[in-house]
């Protein structure tokens, strides 16, 4: 399980003195534990990947904020943590590969306009789980459905 990998990595980071890795893994594991408490049971790898993706998104936003605030120290800190987070995510899908899956789902569902977005998303999300952020999938589905309807 991915959670076990994260816990093992935390132990290694603590022993080696890698404070950046230790700190970000603690944040992620705490978030996982909170999700498990809310759910009342252990969460699966898909939920862990979702948590990691949220942390990646938050870190990317923090990097942008640090750039705008002219804080290279914070930018470097968040970038280092972002690299650690990305090590635990599956390889991300290219836009072209994602577009192909979406096009196939559009044909399979018979979608013809943006109002059919839910049908397409229901087919696409299980195929790309963890390999592309849901927000990106949603954006591309909407974009392709608008192209079809015009």
Structural domains present in the chain: 2-87 (1.10.1510.10), 95-149 (1.10.10.410)
Q: Sign of dihedral through CA atoms 29, 33, 52, 100?
A: positive
Whether 149 has a pLDDT exceeding 80, the answer reads: no
- Kindly report, residue by residue over 111-131, the tens digit of the pLDDT: 888 898 999 999 999 888 878
Tokens of 2: 């991915």
More confident residue, 148 or 12: 12
Q: Which residues of 52-85 are buried (b: 16+ CB within 10 A; e: fewer)?
A: bbebbeebeebbeebeeeeeeeebebbeebbebb
Report the alpha-carbon distance of residue 112 to residue 115 in Å, rounded: 8
Looking at residue 150, its pLDDT comes to: 73
Looking at residue 129, its pLDDT comes to: 81
- Kindly report, residue by residue over 8-63, the tens digit of the pLDDT: 999 999 999 999 999 999 999 999 999 999 999 999 988 898 899 899 999 999 99
């Amino acid at each position: 399980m991915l959670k076990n990998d994260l816990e093992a990595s935390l132990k290694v980071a603590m022993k080696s003195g890698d404070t950046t890795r230790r700190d970000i893994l603690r944040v992620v594991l705490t978030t996982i534990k909170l999700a498990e408490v809310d759910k009342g049971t252990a969460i699966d790898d898909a939920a862990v990947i979702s948590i990691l993706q949220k942390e990646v998104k938050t870190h990317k936003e923090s990097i942008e904020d640090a750039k705008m605030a002219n804080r290279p120290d914070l930018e470097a800190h968040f970038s280092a943590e972002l690299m650690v987070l990305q090590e635990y995510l599956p390889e991300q899908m290219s836009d072209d590969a994602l577009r192909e899956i979406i096009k196939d789902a559009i044909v399979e569902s018979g979608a013809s306009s943006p109002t059919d977005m839910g049908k397409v998303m229901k087919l696409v999300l299980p195929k790309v789980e963890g390999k592309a952020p849901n927000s990106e999938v949603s954006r591309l589905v909407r974009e392709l459905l608008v192209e079809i309807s015009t």
